[in-house]
Structure 1
Amino acid sequence: MTFDKVYQYNFPTTIRFGAGAIKELPAYLKSNGLSKPMIVTDPVIAGLPFFKSIIKDLEAQQLSVEVFSNIHKNPVKSDVYKGTELWDQSSRDSVIGIGGGAALDVARAIVLRVNHREDLFKYDDLIGGDIYVTNDVPHFITVPTTAGTGSEVGRSAIIADDETHQKKILFSPKLMAKIVFADPVLTMDLPPFITAATGMDALTHNMEAFLAKNPHPLCDGIALEGIYLIKDALEKATNHPDLESRSKMLMASMMGAIAFQKGLGVVHSLAHPLSSLLDTHHGLANAVNIPYGMEFNIAGFEDKFRRMARTLELKEENGEAVVEYLFDLNAKIHIPHHLSEIGVKAEHIETLSDLALADFAHPNNPKPVNREDFKQLYLKAL
């Protein structure tokens, strides 16, 4: 894989990957007869120089741009409704999501809501709501700026209820981007903490997808290659970033999102309640919990862990070595080992355990997880 030029592949959507890919955006819009994009991003990205440069390039081609950035770092339903109001008021013809998981989730949910105006959570995939996604959706383009969630290649958005904080999944093949402009240069200026947390999110996606109980050999292969790329790149991308390490992380992030159509597991069910209850960064929540969740899964799945250890090129090819590797990697990229270091207190454990049990991810874990398991995992990680 070369890192200094743009190339294209299609899996499952069209992906323009490489340094400088973002420069193709204005010409792509014009060639598709689009002139009034609504850009959905987060408040931090909206103020950064690279984002202002993207807007400038679009406006230089006489494209009318409207920016919506009024979103929470863990997106809620009201964010989506506000964005749809702006769409209505400004007569847009396309949606461009630019950012990490939060921005891309809100962008995708707005794409759904434009022509589906019943209560947003009627479309929750967990209650079969995808069958109601029947109308056309606006032209949708994604531009990732972090290497973590891989939302740019996804078909779903995770949005929380403003009051209950419970996360809902909006899903439909219609919600896949028409094209992804994946430019690793846009990730070069990420601060080390965000690089580390989002990178561990990508690793969690790949590892949990590989372990998930549903048979899907294609996803297994993608997940193992994603793990291999992260092994080579995450520490360097965090501490001494260069184009190669950033490119590998961006690719591995997309691979994790493709692989986890197979399912996720216990780590995500431990992490999601931290985001909804305590507003913890999703990647950080996964990063702290992954060694404990992986340790929980070893018994009965030794062969899967042997294959992950081999992919990581560890001396000992077993689950214990994988867990040790995860603790070591977290230390190298300055991720804490314990939940108490990121604001979790003993009095949160019962509520967290309830939320974890209600979470959508753990039914795909290779082994069942009950409420007591979640409680003990939180206590161990505390």
Structure 2
Amino acid sequence: MIDINKICGFNFPAPIRFGAGAVSELGAYLKANDLRSPLLVTDPVVKELGFFKSIIRDLAQAGLSVEVFSEMHKNPVKSDVLKGGDMYEKTGRDSVVGIGGGVALDVARAIVLRVNHRRDLFDYDDLIGGDRYVTGEVPHFVAIPTTAGTGSEVGRSAIISEDQSKKKRILFSPKLMAKTVFADPLLTMELPPFVTAATGMDALTHNLEAYLARGFHPMCDGIALEGMRLIAGAIEKATKGPDVESRAHMLLASLMGAVAFQKGLGVVHSLAHPLSGLLDTHHGLANAVNLPYGMKFNYNGFEDRFDNMAYALGIGAGKGDQVVTYLFELNDKLGLPSKLSQIGVGEQHLETLSDLAIADFCHPNNPKPVTREDFRSLYKEAF
């Protein structure tokens, strides 16, 4: 049983302060670390919400000098990061506080990298060994999630797209992990139903794909199964009639998914990433639509794993063959579509999407190989 009204601390992998009201500790934390001039990085929507304005007010009352950076796209691009880095320097900041969902936290983390690392930003792309250039110090970084989806707050990487091609790049280094995470379920209470559902399905996708991913990592497997259990019990309530308990369970499950997918992701994310890059589709929505089809693709040969997932999801013992149906029904219950044609994808996009999907960095960790023709078939089935 989780006591959501008690603020607790635990480390995994970053130091985390979890519980209702945890964000109230931010000002004292910054002052205790001799930080007086934070750059708050958030998205344009969160910037206008009441809780964000309260955070600014509380920090000002604590005697801290605050600047806010919120100029970012729905799927962040390199120029967003460069603008944020410029603001950090011009306003004399000493730390970065990322507040928001995956977009804001990715931009915040990339700004942290940019401050003292002046090669071209994409020289640090992990897929080309760019982490070897992350040799300098980085500013103190605090992460505060406001959605229960990406789990980016406990990550060590940022996904940033090229401005023109929209190709996604991964900026990675252990130095980019937050010094502290304030995970406060109260900050997720203002999320509208669609965002709650889409980000929740993102978290579910992380846990499902991590559990199925190639390789031996029993710790990630156990965390992923518990994340699935929490989501299955909370996502519908959090979407349709939220209370703090359901929001807290979703926030924990999101953290768990991000820890678990250190093992890897798979075909679903490789189907989803091109939709965000090409058509600016919300990442969680892209995962939600593609999730049943990707899981159907993976079922044969991994029946025992699907049985374990079915049990965690509350479907029942030995019922792995019902996971795909469960996912279709869950999308429907949450008011999310299960067809690409319902989210702005045209048949003319399928070839380009297939090219982008086969070039994506996630599917090599899928439990079975995925060819370009497989991607084409999956898009066609989902269309």
Is contact 2:151-2:203 (8 Å) kept?
Answer: yes
User: What is the DSSP-based 3-state SS (H/G/I as helix, E as strand, rest coil) of the residue aligned with 2:261?
Assistant: helix
In 2, Cα distance between equivalents of 1:38 and 1:181: 16
For structure 1, the residue ranges without an aligned partner over 5 or more in a row are none
Q: Does the alignment pair 1:320 with 2:336?
A: no
Q: How many residues align?
A: 382
Structure 1 partner of 2:112: 111
Q: Which residue of 1 aligns with 2:150?
A: 149
Deviations 1:327-352 (A, max 9, x none): 11111100011010000010000000
| CA–CA distance in structure 2, aligned partners of residues 174 and 180 of structure 1 | 15
CA distance in 2, matches of 1:26, 1:313: 41
**Secondary structure at 1:230's aligned position in 2?**
helix
Checking the alignment, whether the CA contact within 8 Å between 1:295 and 1:319 is kept in structure 2 is no
Q: Supply the distance in 1 between the matched residues of 2:155 and 2:295 (Cα, whole angstroms).
A: 24
Q: Is the 8 A contact 1:302 1:318 kept in 2?
A: no
The alignment's C-alpha RMSD in Å is: 0.7
Match of 1:354 in 2: 355
Q: What is residue 138 of structure 1 aligned with on the other side?
A: 139
Residue 164 of structure 1: how far off its partner (Å): 1.0
Are 1:53 and 2:51 matched, yes or no?
no
Residue of structure 1 in register with 2:226 after alignment: 225
Contact 2:210 2:220 (8 Å CA) reproduced: yes
What's the TM-score once normalised by structure 1's chain length? 0.99
Aligned 8 A contact 1:354 1:371 in 2: yes
Matches within 5 A, 1:248-287: 248-287=249-288
Residue deviations 1:42-62, cap 9 Å, x none? 000011111000000000011
AA aligned opposite 2:350: I
- For 1:96, what is the secondary structure of its paired residue? strand
Amino acid at match of 1:5: K
Aligned mates of 1:374, 1:343 — CA distance in 2: 18
Aligned to 1:241: 242
Which range moved further: 315-324 or 204-213? 315-324
Contact kept? 1:100, 1:146, Cα under 8 Å: yes
C-alpha separation in 2, matches of 1:199 and 1:91 = 37
Q: Report the counterpart of residue 298 of structure 2 in structure 1.
A: 297
**TM-fit CA distance, 1:316:** 6.3
Mapped partners of 2:281, 2:320: distance in 1: 28
In the alignment, the residues of structure 2 paired with residue 237 and residue 17 of structure 1 have an alpha-carbon distance, to the nearest angstrom, of: 18
Aligned letter for 1:347?
Answer: Q
Kept after mapping to 2: 8 A contact 1:295/1:320: no
Report the equivalent of 1:16. Answer: 17
CA-CA distance at 1:4 after TM superposition: 1.4
Query: Is the Cα–Cα contact under 8 Å of residues 308 and 317 in structure 2 kept in the other structure?
Result: no
SS at match of 2:294: helix
- Equivalent-residue separation in structure 1 for 2:128 and 2:266 (angstroms): 19
Match of 2:309 in 1: 308
Q: Under a length normalisation based on structure 2, what TM-score does the superposition of the two structures give? A: 0.99
